[in-house]
Amino acid sequence: MERGKVLVRLNAFLSMCGIASRRKADQLILEGRVKVNGITVREFGWRIDPQKDVVEVDGKPVKPQRYRYIALYKPCCYLTALGKSQDGKKTIQELIKDIPERLYPAGRLDYNAEGLLILTNDGQLANRIMHPRYKLPKTYQVLVKGKVSAKTLESMKRGAYLEDGFAKPVSVRILRYEKDNTLLEIVFTEGRKHIVKRFTAHFGHKVLKLKRTAIGPIKLGKLSPGKWRELSKEEVIALKKAVKMLN
């Protein structure tokens, strides 16, 4: 490979161009509708040089969209999904329908959870945000049932064995007590399914409300539920540095 040359998978390139999701792009390739430099490609995993190779779908050249980076406040009772849900539940697609580019969520939030989502068409950055290798911290405010004692808090800081392995937060602290319940701030660098809920439940405290307030250096801030904003250039640089895309 030439020095400095970056190859990307063909299905990822088609996704970057807004043609289809990676899975649907694989179907287009299988159907023989995709050409690279005039040659029909039917192989999964084919890699291209976006700077030199000419890619066509159904005979029309395609190019990547400009990258966009969005911070979205997902409200409670929305699915982290694009398009319409089969059971009629609302999805975040309804909240970003005025954005012309095809953006994808870099991570998920449960249906009943709320807070920060990052959406982008920068596939490399999205993958690094989600990949546990890069240990990007995610910060949550969690209202749990009951009063968390100082002893329990110390146990939480040491971590716990869940059914799928050991889980230890980067940090956990009590923000305040709300009547007979406790508002915690918990930071995890991993995204195992329902990890926050399962972690607090292990200590006898059921989650009543969960909100993600930060993903790495990106803060939810004063964003209102259901609203989105563009990440600033400085925020994008800070996020890329956090996942080792920049020095």
What's the CA gap between 40 and 43, in Å, rounded?
A: 9
Q: Which of 26, 87, 110, 122 is catalytic?
A: 110
What's the CA gap between 24 and 72, in Å, rounded?
A: 25
Pairing of strands 165-167, 160-162: antiparallel
Q: What are phi and psi of 44, to 5 degrees?
A: -70, 145
What's the CA gap between 118 and 107, in Å, rounded?
A: 8
Contacts of 33 (CB under 8 A, 6+ apart): 57, 58
Beta bridge partners of 162: 165
Determine the residue type at 56: E
Q: Is the C-alpha dihedral spanning 188, 133, 81, 233 positive or negative?
A: positive
Q: How many CB atoms lie within 10 A of CB 91?
A: 17
Tokens of 36: 């690279």
Q: Is the C-alpha dihedral spanning 75, 79, 191, 11 positive or negative?
A: negative
Q: Supply the DSSP symbol for 164.
A: T
Residue 110 known to be catalytic: yes
Q: Which residues are identified as catalytic?
A: 110
